[in-house]
Amino acid sequence: MTEHAQDQATTPAEQPTPAAHTTPVTGTGRVKRGMAEMLKGGVIMDVVTPEQAKIAEDAGAVAVMALERVPADIRVQGGVARMSDPDMIDGIINAVSIPVMAKARIGHFVEAQVLQAIGVDYIDESEVLTPADEAHHIDKWAFTVPFVCGATNLGEALRRLAEGAAMIRSKGEAGTGNVIEATRHMRQLRSEIRRLTTLGEEELFAAAKELRAPYDLVKEVAQAGKLPVVLFTAGGIATPADAAMMMQLGAEGVFVGSGIFKSGDPAKRAAAIVKATTFHDDPDVIAKVSRGLGEAMVGINVSELPESARLATRGW
Amino acid sequence: MPRPVNWAFAPTVKGPVLSKSTSQPTIGVLALQGDVREHHRMLGHCGAVPVTVRRPEELLAVDGLVIPGGESTTMVKLATAFDLLEPLRKRVADGMPTFGTCAGMIMLADRIRDGIEGQETIGGIDMTVRRNAFGRQVDSFEADVSLEGFHPGESSHPFHAVFIRAPWVEEVGPSCRVIARVASGEAAGRIVAVRQDHLLATAFHPELAGDVRVHDYFVELVKEA
């Protein structure tokens, strides 16, 4: 499984081969990043049971995130939050036909190995679970399965890409039902990317140093004006309007955690968030789907959370 | 294990543009969900004017349509909810050139297997398509295929195909022409690209690999319609 990573830097332009290479190659950068491209414009929903996964699929989710407890419950119950029981993940994989993602603890490469062995389609190395390593994230190049990682700013996003992440999500503050941190992180990422595009070539070296990120990645972002992978948003999205705002701020898709299954009418709210994500620039549609959804999750004011209860500060 | 030294993953669009006529057809990309931007880029490079289609009135304004990769279950639910499914069926049945990749191939199939209960499609191509036929994401792969059916009798350079949780075609009707099959590996011989009159479908993603030949072929098909 480790020989695949070398192939991913090869584009057809660099390799104009007349002879066909018909042997299938798995785990390349292109199929890992390409998988995330296929999720764009969609909503990925946290689920804890096969029944919830089915509701999410029926509502139009592009993927589900299998986990043991939604972030809101992890906050309330405390304790160490870990990878889910493989039986539970199997149950969800068997219940739906859409991709199934699952969370591993930051730095817990064996949880990731287990998730790959089970056959999950994407691993979220997630700050929502209790970190397993206080210095190192997982070496994601060593896997065939792709990874998504959270980031609060551009430097963090690029460090995750350097470790092999194939998709980035802004972290937000999971389990709060409060979109303010998601907004902050998405604005931060977009603004830092815009700034890079205004710098001269010679200024990019210093920018890389400030961002604590590899120069080549910094240069690529400066030239493209975007991350080289798909950027989703996460952490605190609870309403169709929340999802649409994050899309208008530049997210390419949305993770919704506690916001759906901690609300009064999950099926209806889930379908409404899917519609609002696709028609994020159409207030008439957002107004229509926002009606009669029942109670939203209660929510927490992030400013009242003590530093120790903030999940977004996990990871570095 | 050595780390990649080249970070430039984004495909470089290359290859000659074979467009024979100078007229610029307007080609829509169904933008309910999926890799819309990549198709836009390829269509623009091939001399078409790409536009997004999410509403019935937008569908009426295009000369041809691309249905991108993504989740077919999500696309069909949104198409139904926003009154787009019947207009799509009507335009496809009336001869609008349409090209589907991956989820788009599923959407153009008359019959599907391993769909969710009651999963509908637009239909149009007389074929049976199996969803996620190659397996899960860890089985997603890249490999060259030969596009023999494009211009039958002519030899073609291998096309680098990217398969992501891809479907394959299990059966085709008499009017459906096979364009490409998997060349080697466990799935050797499986049909992964077809054309039936004005409809074109691939199980792989030509929009991700930077080779314009399939999009160019489709733009020509729109111009000829």
pLDDT at A14 (0 to 100): 46
pLDDT at A165 (0 to 100): 98
Do residue B158 and residue A216 have CB atoms under 8 angstroms apart? no
Cβ–Cβ under 8 Å, residues B149 and B195: yes
What's the whole-number mean pLDDT along residues B57-75?
A: 97
Out of A19, A31, A224, the one facing B140 most closely (by C-beta) is A31
Do residue A13 and residue B14 have CB atoms under 8 angstroms apart? yes
β-strand partners of A105: A126
Chain A residues close to B141, C-beta within 8 Å:
24-26, 28, 31
pLDDT at B216 (0 to 100): 95
pLDDT at B16 (0 to 100): 52
Cα–Cα distance measured from residue A17 to residue B204, given in angstroms and rounded to the nearest whole number: 20
CB hemisphere CA count around B109 (13 angstroms): 31
Instruction: List A residues 84-143 in contact with B (Cβ-Cβ < 8 A).
Output: 96-99, 116, 119-122, 141-142
Chain B residues close to A31, C-beta within 8 Å:
137, 140-142, 162-164
Residue A226 has pLDDT above 90, yes or no: yes
Chain A residues close to B54, C-beta within 8 Å:
278-279
What's the whole-number mean pLDDT along residues A155-177?
A: 96
Q: What is the pLDDT of residues A42-96, one digit of tens each?
A: 999 999 999 999 999 999 999 999 998 888 888 888 889 999 999 999 999 999 9
Cα–Cα distance measured from residue B218 to residue A144, given in angstroms and rounded to the nearest whole number: 33
pLDDT at A11 (0 to 100): 43
B1-to-A141, A148, A254 alpha-carbon distances in Å: 9, 21, 33
Cα–Cα distance measured from residue A230 to residue A35, given in angstroms and rounded to the nearest whole number: 10
Q: Which range (A6-10, A114-118, A303-307, B100-104) has the least confidence? A: A6-10
Neighbours of A97 (CB within 10 A): 19
pLDDT at A19 (0 to 100): 67
Cβ–Cβ under 8 Å, residues A122 and A101: yes
What's the whole-number mean pLDDT along residues A92-119?
A: 97
Task: Decide if A306 touches B, using CB distance below 8 A.
Answer: no
Conformation bin of residue B222: beta by default, left when phi > 0, alpha when psi is -120 to 50: alpha
Distance from A247 to chain B by nearest Cα, in Å?
13
Out of A17, A97, A271, the one facing B116 most closely (by C-beta) is A97
SS3 B97: coil
Instruction: List A residues 46-85 in contact with B (Cβ-Cβ < 8 A).
Output: 57-63
- Percent of chain B exceeding pLDDT 70 equals 90
pLDDT range class, residue B22, cuts 50, 70, 90: low
Most confident of A153-157, A254-258, B116-120, B210-214: A153-157
Distance of CA B150 to the CA centre of its chain: 14
- Percent of chain A exceeding pLDDT 70 equals 94
What's the whole-number mean pLDDT along residues B155-167?
A: 91
pTM score, whole prediction? 0.91
Distance from A26 to chain B by nearest Cα, in Å?
4
Rg, chain A, Cα only: 19
Of B9 and A303, more confident: A303
Q: Which two tokens stand for residue A29?
A: 């950068």
Q: Which range (A217-231, A294-308, B65-79) has the least confidence? A: A294-308
What's the whole-number mean pLDDT along residues A121-141?
A: 96
pLDDT at A139 (0 to 100): 98
Q: What is the pLDDT of residues B124-152, one digit of tens each?
A: 999 999 999 999 999 999 999 998 878 77
Q: What is the pLDDT of residues B176-195, one digit of tens each?
A: 999 999 999 999 999 999 99
Cβ–Cβ under 8 Å, residues A96 and A64: yes
pLDDT at A13 (0 to 100): 45
Out of B8, B157, B164, the one facing A34 most closely (by C-beta) is B164
pLDDT at A312 (0 to 100): 86
Residue B5 has pLDDT above 50, yes or no: no
What's the whole-number mean pLDDT along residues A284-292?
A: 97
pLDDT at B14 (0 to 100): 52
Task: Decide if A244 touches B, using CB distance below 8 A.
Answer: no
Nearest CA in chain A to B138: A145
Q: Which of the residues of B are catalytic?
A: 102, 205, 207
Chain A residues close to B158, C-beta within 8 Å:
17, 19-22
pLDDT at A209 (0 to 100): 98
DSSP string, chain A: -TTSGGGGG--GGG---SS---S-EES-HHHHHHHHHTTTT-EEEEESSHHHHHHHHHHT-SEEEE-SS-HHHHHHH-S---PPPHHHHHHHHHH-SS-EEEEEETT-HHHHHHHHHHT-SEEEEETTSPPS-SS----GGG-SS-EEEEESSHHHHHHHHHTT-SEEEE---TTS--THHHHHHHHHHHHHHHHHHTS-GGGHHHHHHHHTS-HHHHHHHHHHSS-SSEEEB-SS--SHHHHHHHHHTT-SSEEESHHHHTSS-HHHHHHHHHHHHHTTT-HHHHHHHHTT--PPP----GGGS-GGG-STTS--
pLDDT at A5 (0 to 100): 43
Do residue B35 and residue A99 have CB atoms under 8 angstroms apart? no
ipTM of the shown complex: 0.89
**Average pLDDT of chain A, as a whole number:** 92
pLDDT at A7 (0 to 100): 43
Q: What is the pLDDT of residues B37-49, one digit of tens each?
A: 999 999 999 999 9
Of B18 and B52, more confident: B52
Out of B32, B141, B184, the one facing A278 most closely (by C-beta) is B32
